[in-house]
Each structure stands twice: as C-alpha cells, then as structure tokens.
C-alpha cells in the first residue's frame, strides 16, 4: 500500500453561513432610536464623569452602573484625531477587492465625549487634512433609527 | 506549591432561552456584580479576571476583548480559557490556580453563553463552525450525503450522547424509564432554583414519557435547553477568605484529564481509538487524582453531594459511576431508590444540573458554583437538608474527551 | 402542570453572518489512501508500532501514546456491531443540510427508518459509523455480526462503503 505524504487543500463552500442577531441592550437601543431624530447620545458616568460615545451601562474606569438618566446629547461636531486611507476591502467571503476610489477613515473626538470613534470621512479635500481640524456628522436625508442614519463625517 | 484558597462569593443570572433584554456584555456583567455583592467586595479588590465561553455559539470571536470592560479587566490581567463544554470548569480551576499559585489574593472566574444571539436553533451554529473543515474534507472524497445525514443528523441528533447512552444501557440493564426519572428529577429540582431555565414544579417521569422520541432512547423531554446566562465565582486566599466569609467553600482537589478524541470521527476524518464512549477513562483518572489531592480514599462514603455535568440524563448515571460514587453499572438502581434526590443519601445535581440549564460556556462553572452554595448553606430552596462537608463538581466536554473534576469542602486542606 | 414561563422585554437586534465555509483547510492525504483502498474493496487501517492499536479510517498519530501511525494493514470485511440507533420514521423538515431538505432532494425517503451503527471490523480498535442495510429494526442487537456492503462499481471514494448487512446463515 502506498503511503501518501504532503497535504491537500480542502475548499469550503461559500454558501454556508451561520447567521446571527445580536441583542443590543437598553442603552444601545436608546442610542439607535435617537439617531432617527438626528441625535447622537452618549453616557456620562455619575461617579467619574467620563463620557462614552456611544453610551454603555457600565463605566470601565470606575465600574459604576449607568442608566437612561445618565444619557447626554452631543452636538454632532468634533475634532479629527487621526485618519487613514483604505485601498482594498474584504468581501466577507475571504477575498480582497480593490477599491475604485480609495476610502478615508477618520478617528474623531466628538464634542463632549472622552472616547474616540471611527467613521467614514467624505466631502473633504484629502490634501487639506490636519489633526485637530473641525468635522461634523452628515446625517442621511431619511433617518430610521439605526447606524445607516449617519452618512459620514465631513469638513466644517 | 498550592496555597489554600476558597470560593467566597457566587453570582448567577436568571437563565432563559432568550435574554434579549441585555447584550452579552451586560449579561456577563450582571453575574460578576452579583458575585462581588455576595462576597462583599468591589472590583478594586480583584487582582485577576479569568473568563471563558464557547465563542462560535454566540457569534463573537474573542469576546473577552469586548467584554473586558464590563467584567472588570482594565488594570488587571485578563485570561481567557476555552475548553469546549468544560470551559466553565477550566475557568473555575483557572481562577483557583491564579490564587493558589500565590500570584493574586483575589480572582474572579466568569463564564457565559448567549445562544439567542444565533439565528440557528439550539446550539447548531457552534456545531456548524466546529465541524465544517472535517465535513468538507470528507465530501471531497465522495462521502455519501445519505450516509452523512443519517449518521450525523439522525443517528447523533443529540450528539454522541445517544450512542453513549446505548452502550451504558446495554451494559448495565438501565431502561428508558430510568432516563425519564432522571430528567423529571432535574426539572423538579430546577423549579426550586431561581436561576434555572427549565423549571417544571413537581415534574414526574410520566410527564417526560409523554414527549416525542428524537432517536431512541432519547425523548425531547430528556434533552437539555440552549440557555442564555452567565455565572461568576470569587476566589480568595486563606486569610482573606476567613476574614470576609463565614463559611467559605475550600478547594480541596482539582484535576483535569484530557483523553484522545472520543467522538465518532477525529480530525481529518480519522478513526478514534475508543470503542465505547461511555468508558470515559478521563473521568476515572481525573476523579482519582482529585480525590487523592483532597485526601479522600472512599468517595462512596466521604462525598456528600455531587454536581454532575449531565446535558443528557444517561450522563448523570454514567458519570456518577466514573466519579467513583457508585459501583459500575449500578447508578440507575441507586437513583431508582431515591438516593440521589434532594433529601437522599447522596444528592446529585440538586440545582437541576445541565439537563435543566445549559448556557454552554458557563455550565461547568455552575457545577462548581452550586457545590459551593451547598457547602455555604446558601442554596435557598434547593439547599439539601444534610450538612455538606465535601462535594464534587464535574465538567465534561470537548470531543467527548475533556473532563474537569473539582472537590470542594467546608474546611481548608 | 408544565414549564414555568419567564417573560422579559426584548431590545433591538443587529444582524450579521459568518461565512463558515470561507476557508481553505489543509489536510493530510490519509483519506486518499483510504479511498484508494475502497476501490479495491479493502478497508485500510493505520497501526501503531508502540501499543499495537489499529485505527480506521487511518490517522497520523496514535491518540494515547502519541507515536506516528505509519504502518498500514488491511482489515477484515466482517465486523461486530458495538452500538446502534434507530431513527423515527423520516419526516420532512427535520434533517436539513446547507438549507436543503434531504426528503425534497430524494436523499432520504419519507417514512423510512434509518439504522446508523457503530461497527468494529475484525482487527480494528476503532468504530466505523455507517448504516445497517437489509435488516429490520427488530433484528438489530449489540454484538451482531455483520459484513460490508460494497458499491456495485467502487470508484475510489468514501461512498464505496455503502454500509453493512447482517451475516445470515445459509
């Protein structure tokens, strides 16, 4: 009997998916619903005053619990803390896709928040990007209460 | 060197099939807060966080990185342990190791599972991502689809447990009615446990016998649920434990023996060198090692209570024998006589066990937690009437080959 | 009396999926050897020269003593049933795979009873999981002697081993 050595490659079929629907909890639900009214909510810790955007129910600095009463509304304006340019994307099935137009991704410190967020950056001259420049959220014309209500960050 | 340590606080969430009122991070955090409150300490007093779950089931890869903030990791070492079904048991033992080693005075062990985040029924998602590589490999070599569906979906509808039960029943004379009795006992006991999932007050074997057969001998009424829930224990070294807690649950013996793969096919579809999945050599060896460490020479006499990992009723019988609590092939006779009831001679899984509550990542930790509650006298309505001096908590999982065995007691080693 | 109910509020859900098939796994060529053996109506096992265990389908390493299982041997066509399970009558909607119902595709017949068995072929220290054919559920017992049912024209694939059937005295 011939003993074979080496390996073979076994390809999985891309048709098999495991599907999920993750519960968001009350604080996140408050946040998502407020987006319908073009409001960006954050949570302010009643103990140490650290502001998380988006909000959460536990402060990770002092472990204090937070509820609906600890929600604060942010102006939607902020400061560009950093950015990068993406030239490829993943298609979710294990393949790289070249982007026809490179995408800008910003790290933004929203006014009133202590934490930083990442959002797409558009409607901006990429040659004029500077850390510290003023940016603001551009809302979708129709807002339904979900992440898609935020279109992108733009220059102010 | 192992320095003495004990469980001084226990916390659990209510387990249900859909905890959609919280995100998985918030769920784990509830258990941690409950444990800290029970121990009378705050997050500042905790030196190390040991966590774990089976990530495929809830669809969050590396969840300890997200949940870290919610379970108190900032500023502390965060250790994740994942050992299949025994994850919770390994988390409990891991929390013990971090304190017993002398590295930390207080640690927490937290484990959780949120099955409802998956759209597939039961625990299908987790099993899907585990078996895919093997499945595609065999299909590449022309495995017949009919054989595949018949043996994996039909024949092992409840996993390898159904074959394991058949081996046990053939060897010992146990009948299907005995499985009905064990399942009814689990649901009856769970009705007395405020955190359990399948609570059926006064459930009788006849009620279980009315449910539909999945694959003989298992009925729907025998199978464990897929629960959402979390549990957490606080472990402290001796001086701290004695200062903070009236009756700590001391770690007397720990062992974990991993056997070779025991289940149907091994990786790359090879065979497994174990003919009888109810043999569970890993459990025999773990138990012997844990008892030796605890100074127990006659478990049948010295163990007052056992919390056994039994997603299926046959496993309560099989593992109680493998843990040395009953002679081979006789567990079903002792159960029939009522010896394993809440007020029996050797109560087993009085919390309802995994058969009534199964948030997979957390289930094995709950066995340690429930044994600790019984020693502390804090189990509430499902507290056993006799004094519990020594208890054994067992965990089982992996590809039917991982075992954790933990012996707890009412006084230090 | 029945199960106690627990009603809770439900918060919003975010959807997503995980392409569990989007991988390119690497596997050793052991199933290739096994399938090649099936074409010649031979069941091949790997043998450990340390403890003497024979495993089929073949493996690289002995599970308990960790030696390489490089030796090969041919097992008997005859074996013993070590375990069996009897399915209820096949219904639609119970056994879906990749979103397809095997009753719809004709892979399984409506109302049929399937008998998956563990078979220990003579010489092996492992079970092979397959179907018991040409037998009634009432006949099956642990310890029953069976022999392989080969495909009419083996092609060198796993399906060449169709199942096992009882050895009946003539």
Render pLDDT for A127-153 as a digit per residue (tens, 0 to 9): 889 999 999 999 999 999 998 999 999
**CB-based contact (8 Å) between C139 and chain A?**
no
Confidence check: pLDDT of B339 > 70: yes
Could you read off the pLDDT of B161-203 as tens digits, one per residue? 888 899 999 999 999 999 999 999 999 999 999 999 999 999 9
Question: Least CB-CB distance to A12: which of B72, B74, B132?
Answer: B132
Angle at C63 between CA B167 and CA C32, to 5 degrees: 95
pLDDT value of residue C88: 82
Cis before residue C57, ω within 30 degrees of 0?
yes
**Domain range summary for chain A, segments of one domain joined by +:** 25-155
Q: Which of B350, B292, B26, B333 is nearest to B175 (CA)?
A: B333
Interface of C with A in 74-93 (CB under 8 A): 74
Say yes or no for a CB contact (<8 Å) between C20 and B191: no
Distance (Å, whole) CA B151 – CA B131: 14
Interface of C with B in 69-98 (CB under 8 A): 82-88, 90, 94-95, 97
Whether residue B82 is contained in a domain is answered as yes
Say yes or no for a CB contact (<8 Å) between C12 and A92: no
Say yes or no for a CB contact (<8 Å) between A17 and C70: no
Longest dimension (CA), chain C: 68
pLDDT value of residue B147: 84
Distance (Å, whole) CA B255 – CA B396: 12
pLDDT value of residue C22: 79
Searching chain A, which residue's CA lies closest to the CA of residue B20? A23
Indicate the pLDDT class of residue A38, thresholds 50, 70 and 90: very high
Question: Least CB-CB distance to B69: which of A18, A25, A60?
Answer: A60
Q: Is A13 helix (H, G, I), strand (E, B) or coil?
A: coil
Chains in contact with B, where contact means 3 or more Cβ–Cβ distances below 8 Å, are A, C
Chains in contact with A, where contact means 3 or more Cβ–Cβ distances below 8 Å, are B, C
Chain C residues in contact with A32 (beta carbon < 8 A): 12
Distance from CA of B88 to the nearest CA of A (A): 22
Residues 6 or more apart whose CB falls under 8 angstroms from that of B36 comprise: B9, B11, B42, B43, B46, B108, B234
Supply the CATH number for residue B112's domain. 3.40.47.10
Residues 6 or more apart whose CB falls under 8 angstroms from that of B101 comprise: B2, B3
Could you read off the pLDDT of B56-86 as tens digits, one per residue? 888 888 888 889 999 999 999 999 999 988 9
What percent of chain C lies above the pLDDT cut of 70? Answer: 97
Averaged over B332-358, what is the pLDDT?
Answer: 96
Whether residue B12 is contained in a domain is answered as yes
Return the structure tokens found at C95: 């056994």
Say yes or no for a CB contact (<8 Å) between A29 and C12: yes
Residues 6 or more apart whose CB falls under 8 angstroms from that of B301 comprise: none
Question: Least CB-CB distance to B266: which of C21, C59, C94?
Answer: C59
Q: Please give the residue range of the domain that contains residue B85.
A: 5-118+224-409
Backbone torsions φ then ψ of B214, nearest 5 degrees? -90, -60
Indicate the pLDDT class of residue A3, thresholds 50, 70 and 90: low
Distances (CA, A) of A134 to A113, A153, B14, B185, B386: 15, 10, 47, 66, 70
Searching chain B, which residue's CA lies closest to the CA of residue C21? B132
Return the structure tokens found at B308: 């056994």
Distance from CA of B144 to the nearest CA of A (A): 17
Distance from CA of C84 to the nearest CA of A (A): 30
Say yes or no for a CB contact (<8 Å) between A12 and C32: no
What is the total count of domains within chain B?
1
Say yes or no for a CB contact (<8 Å) between B166 and C157: no
Distance (Å, whole) CA B28 – CA A77: 34
Averaged over B369-395, what is the pLDDT?
Answer: 96
Interface test with chain B among A58, A61, A62, A64, by most B beta carbons within 10 Å: A58
Question: Least CB-CB distance to B59: which of A18, A56, A60?
Answer: A18
Question: If you average pLDDT over every residue of chain B, what do you get?
Answer: 92
Burial of A141 (0-12, 13-18, 19+ CB in 10 A): exposed
Say yes or no for a CB contact (<8 Å) between C159 and B144: yes
Averaged over B27-41, what is the pLDDT?
Answer: 96
Say yes or no for a CB contact (<8 Å) between A14 and C21: yes
Interface of C with B in 113-152 (CB under 8 A): 114, 116, 118, 120, 124-131, 142
pLDDT value of residue A7: 84
Say yes or no for a CB contact (<8 Å) between C33 and A28: no
Confidence check: pLDDT of A16 > 90: no
Q: Is A26 helix (H, G, I), strand (E, B) or coil?
A: helix
Q: Which of C7, C51, C165, A82 is nearest to B18 (CA)?
A: C7
Distance from CA of B90 to the nearest CA of A (A): 26
Burial of A156 (0-12, 13-18, 19+ CB in 10 A): exposed
Whether residue B331 is contained in a domain is answered as yes
Cis before residue B217, ω within 30 degrees of 0?
yes
Distance (Å, whole) CA B406 – CA B408: 6
Indicate the pLDDT class of residue B341, thresholds 50, 70 and 90: very high
CB pairs under 8 A between A and C: 101
**CB-based contact (8 Å) between A155 and chain C?**
no
Chain A residues in contact with B118 (beta carbon < 8 A): 18-20
Q: Which residues of chain C have pLDDT under 50?
A: none
pLDDT value of residue B1: 78
Distance (Å, whole) CA B243 – CA A142: 60
Distance from CA of B121 to the nearest CA of C (A): 12
Could you read off the pLDDT of B6-16 as tens digits, one per residue? 999 999 999 99
Annotate B148-158 with b (16+ C-beta within 10 A) or e (fewer). Answer: bbbbbbbbbbb
pLDDT value of residue C73: 93
Interface test with chain C among B168, B186, B273, by most C beta carbons within 10 Å: B273
CA B283 to chain centre: 13
Question: Least CB-CB distance to C72: which of A1, A9, A17?
Answer: A1
Interface of A with C in 6-45 (CB under 8 A): 6-26, 28-29, 32-33
What single string gives the DSSP state of each residue in A51-108?
Answer: EESS--SB-TTT--B--GGGEEEE-SEEEEEEEEEEEEEE-SSS-EEEEEEEEEEEEE
In three state form, how does the secondary structure of chain B look?
A: CCCCEEEEEEEECCCECCCCCCCHHHHHHHHHHHHHHHHCCCHHHCCEEEEECCHHHHCCCCHHHHHCCCCCCCCCCEEECCECECHHHHHHHHHHHHHHCCCCCEEEEEEEEEHHHECCCCCHHHHHHHHHHHHHHHHHCCCCHHHHHHHHHHHCEEEEHHHHHHHHHHHHCCCHHHHHHHHHHHHHHHCCCCCCCCCCCCCCHHHHHCCCEEECCEEHHHCCCCCEEEEEEEEEEHHHHHHHCCCCEEEEEEECCCCCCCCCCCHHHCCCCCCCCCCCHHHHHHHHHHHHHHCCCCHHHHCCEEECCCCCHHHHHHHHHHCCCCCCCCHHHHHHCCCCCCCCCCCECCCCHHHHCCCHHHHHHHHHHHHHHHHHCCCHHHCCCCCCCEEEEEEEECCCCEEEEEEEECCCC
pLDDT value of residue B153: 67
Check if the beta carbon of residue B18 is closer than 8 Å to that of residue B48.
no
Backbone torsions φ then ψ of C42, nearest 5 degrees? -125, 140
Between the two ends of chain A, the Cα-to-Cα distance in Å is 75
Say yes or no for a CB contact (<8 Å) between B22 and A60: no
Chain C residues in contact with A96 (beta carbon < 8 A): none
Residues of A with CB under 8 A from a CB of B: 8, 10-13, 16, 18-26, 28, 56-58, 60-61, 63, 65
Say yes or no for a CB contact (<8 Å) between A25 and B21: yes
Confidence check: pLDDT of A2 > 60: no
**Tell me, what's the ipTM?**
0.89
């Amino acid at each position: 009997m011939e003993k074979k050595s080496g390996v073979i490659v076994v390809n999985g079929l891309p048709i098999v998916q495991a599907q999920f629907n993750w519960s968001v909890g009350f604080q996140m639900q408050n946040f998502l619903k407020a987006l319908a009214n073009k409001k960006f909510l954050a949570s302010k810790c009643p103990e140490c005053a650290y502001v998380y955007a988006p909000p959460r129910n536990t402060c990770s600095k002092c472990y204090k619990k937070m509820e609906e009463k600890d929600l604060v509304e942010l102006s939607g304006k902020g400061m560009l803390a950093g950015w990068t340019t993406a030239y490829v994307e993943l298609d979710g099935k294990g393949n790289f896709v070249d982007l026809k137009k490179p995408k800008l991704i910003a790290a933004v410190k929203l006014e009133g928040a202590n934490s930083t967020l990442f959002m797409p950056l558009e409607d901006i001259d990429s040659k004029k990007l500077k850390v510290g420049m003023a940016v603001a959220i551009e809302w979708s014309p129709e807002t339904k209460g979900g992440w898609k209500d935020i279109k992108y960050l733009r220059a102010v | 060197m192992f320095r003495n340590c004990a469980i001084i606080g226990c916390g659990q969430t209510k387990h249900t099939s859909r905890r959609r009122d919280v995100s998985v991070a918030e769920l784990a955090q509830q258990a941690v807060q409950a444990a800290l409150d029970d121990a009378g300490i705050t997050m500042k007093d905790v030196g190390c966080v040991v966590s774990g779950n089976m990530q495929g089931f809830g669809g969050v890869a590396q969840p300890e990185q997200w949940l870290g903030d919610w379970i108190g990791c900032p500023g502390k070492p965060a250790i994740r342990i994942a050992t299949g079904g025994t994850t919770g048991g390994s988390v409990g033992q891991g929390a013990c190791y971090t304190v017993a080693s002398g590295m930390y005075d207080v640690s927490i062990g937290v484990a959780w599972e949120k099955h409802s985040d998956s759209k597939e029924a039961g625990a299908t998602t987790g099993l899907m991502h585990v078996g895919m590589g093997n499945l595609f490999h065999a299909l590449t070599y022309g495995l017949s689809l009919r054989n595949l569906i018949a043996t994996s979906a039909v024949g092992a509808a409840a996993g390898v447990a159904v074959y394991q039960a058949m081996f046990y029943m053939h060897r010992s004379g146990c009948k299907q009615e005995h499985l009905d009795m064990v399942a009814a006992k689990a649901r009856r006991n769970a009705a007395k446990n405020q955190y359990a999932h399948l609570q059926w007050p006064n459930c009788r074997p006849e009620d279980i016998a009315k449910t539909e057969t999945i694959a003989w001998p298992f009925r729907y009424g025998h199978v464990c649920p897929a629960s959402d829930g979390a549990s957490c224990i606080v472990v402290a070294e001796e001086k701290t434990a004695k200062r903070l807690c009236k009756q700590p649950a001391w770690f007397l013996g720990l062992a974990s023996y991993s056997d070779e793969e025991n289940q149907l096919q091994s990786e790359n579809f090879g065979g497994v060198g174990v003919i009888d999945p109810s043999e569970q050599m890993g459990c025999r060896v773990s138990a012997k090692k844990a008892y030796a460490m605890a100074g127990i020479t006659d478990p049948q006499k010295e163990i007052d209570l056992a919390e056994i990992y039994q997603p299926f009723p046959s496993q309560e019988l099989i593992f109680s024998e493998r843990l040395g609590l009953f002679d081979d092939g006789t567990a079903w006779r002792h159960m029939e006589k009522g010896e394993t009831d809440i007020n029996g001679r050797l109560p087993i899984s009085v919390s309802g066990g995994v058969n009534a509550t199964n948030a997979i990542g957390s289930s094995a930790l709950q066995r340690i937690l429930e044994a600790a509650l019984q020693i502390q006298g804090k189990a509430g309505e499902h507290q056993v009437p006799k004094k519990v001096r020594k208890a054994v908590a067992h965990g089982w999982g992996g590809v039917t080959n991982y075992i954790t065995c933990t012996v707890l007691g009412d006084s230090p080693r | 009396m029945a199960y106690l109910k627990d009603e809770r509020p439900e918060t919003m859900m975010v959807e997503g999926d995980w392409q569990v098939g989007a991988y390119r796994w690497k596997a050793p060529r052991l199933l290739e050897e096994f399938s090649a053996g099936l074409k010649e109506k031979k069941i091949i096992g790997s043998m450990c020269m340390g403890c003497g265990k024979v495993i089929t389908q073949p493996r690289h390493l002995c599970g308990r003593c960790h030696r390489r299982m490089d030796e090969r041997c041919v097992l008997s066509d005859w074996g013993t049933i070590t375990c069996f399970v009897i399915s209820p009558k096949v219904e639609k909607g119970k056994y879906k795979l990749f979103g397809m119902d095997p009753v719809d595709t004709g892979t399984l017949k409506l109302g049929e009873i399937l008998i998956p068995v563990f078979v220990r072929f003579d010489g092996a220290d492992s079970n092979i999981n397959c179907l018991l054919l040409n037998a009634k559920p009432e006949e099956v017992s642990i310890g029953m002697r069976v022999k392989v049912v080969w495909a009419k024209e083996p092609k060198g694939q796993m399906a060449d081993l169709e199942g096992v059937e009882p050895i009946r005295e003539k």
